[in-house]
Amino acid sequence: MNIFRFLADLSHMASIVILILQIRKTKSAAGVSYKTQFLYALVFVTRYIDIFFHYVSLYNTFMKIFFVTSTIYILYLMRVQYKPSHDPNIDTFRIEYIIAPSAVLALIINHGYTLYEILWSFSVWLESGAILPQLFMLQRTGEAETLTVHYIFALGIYRLLYIPNWIYRYVTEGRVEPIAFLASLIQTALYSDFFYIYYTKVMQGKKFELP
């Protein structure tokens, strides 16, 4: 465990906590993409299936349980508890466009042709595009609640920090993870516009509004 990965995981955790707090506080899931949350749930379930047969550490197990349960809880909040606040008419990104390419990539680029490896690779590719419905929704509405913006920012920082983690692990352990490394680069690139607007507006105390 190095500092980049640890901070990345904390930031990932923070993003989810921020989102739950926002939904509960405002009793509304307005501005949050259900599709993105659904895709993350799919990411976690397909990736952490190894919790039953591959023990890494207590930290690892705890975090896996946290990510799966908290994301499913968000789905519950959006689908059941605060259902009326979520407007499906602005959450229109076609998730097939993310799921299908991820499935194809998983079948071509993986660490071995076993169900576990293919699901793992699928989850990594899927994660790199899972934010798209949320960013698309943001673009349609043109502005967002401060907390939604912080949520997306924390999520972006998480994957960004995994890049130095991979470089660090390559240098210190001589080990490479090309699939996750490449997927992290793609994911971070998707956030670049968002980061730019976050920096120029939110950091200066202005409302998050798209130009």
Partner 1 sequence: NNGAVGHDEL
Identify the three-state secondary structure at position 132. helix
Binding pattern for the stretch 104-123 against partner 1, x by CB under 8 A and - elsewhere: -------xx----x--x---
Angle among Cα 127, 33, 45 to the nearest 5 degrees reads 40
Q: Binding to partner 1 by residue 202, rule CB under 8 A?
A: no
Q: Binding to partner 1 by residue 179, rule CB under 8 A?
A: yes
CB of 19 to partner 1, least distance (A): 17
Map tokens 């390419």 to a residue. Answer: 101
Relative orientation angle of helices 146-173 and 3-26, to the nearest 10 degrees: 160
Q: How far is CA 98 from CA 35, 102, 132, 162, 201, in A?
A: 11, 6, 8, 21, 29
Q: Left, alpha or beta for 54 (phi > 0: left; psi -120 to 50: alpha)?
A: beta
Q: Binding to partner 1 by residue 72, rule CB under 8 A?
A: no
Kindly tell me which residue out of 74, 124, 126, 144 binds partner 1, with binding defined by CB under 8 A: 124
**C-alpha span between 24 and 20 (Å, rounded):** 6
Q: Binding to partner 1 by residue 67, rule CB under 8 A?
A: yes
Q: Binding to partner 1 by residue 14, rule CB under 8 A?
A: no
**C-alpha span between 39 and 99 (Å, rounded):** 8
By beta-carbon proximity to partner 1, the closer residue of 67 and 82 is 67
Relative orientation angle of helices 146-173 and 178-200, to the nearest 10 degrees: 140
Which part of the chain contacts partner 1 (CB under 8 A), choosing from 30-38, 90-98, 138-146, 168-176? 168-176
Kindly tell me which residue out of 28, 45, 64, 147 binds partner 1, with binding defined by CB under 8 A: 64
> What's the token pair of residue 128?
């790199």
Relative orientation angle of helices 3-26 and 58-76, to the nearest 10 degrees: 20
For partner 1, how many residues bind (rule: CB under 8 A)? 25
Kindly tell me which residue out of 4, 9, 119, 161 binds partner 1, with binding defined by CB under 8 A: 9
Which part of the chain contacts partner 1 (CB under 8 A), choosing from 14-22, 49-57, 93-101, 144-152? 49-57
By beta-carbon proximity to partner 1, the closer residue of 170 and 199 is 170
Residues that bind partner 1 (CB under 8 A): 5, 9, 12, 50, 54, 56, 60, 63-64, 67, 111-112, 117, 120, 124, 162, 165, 169, 173, 175-180
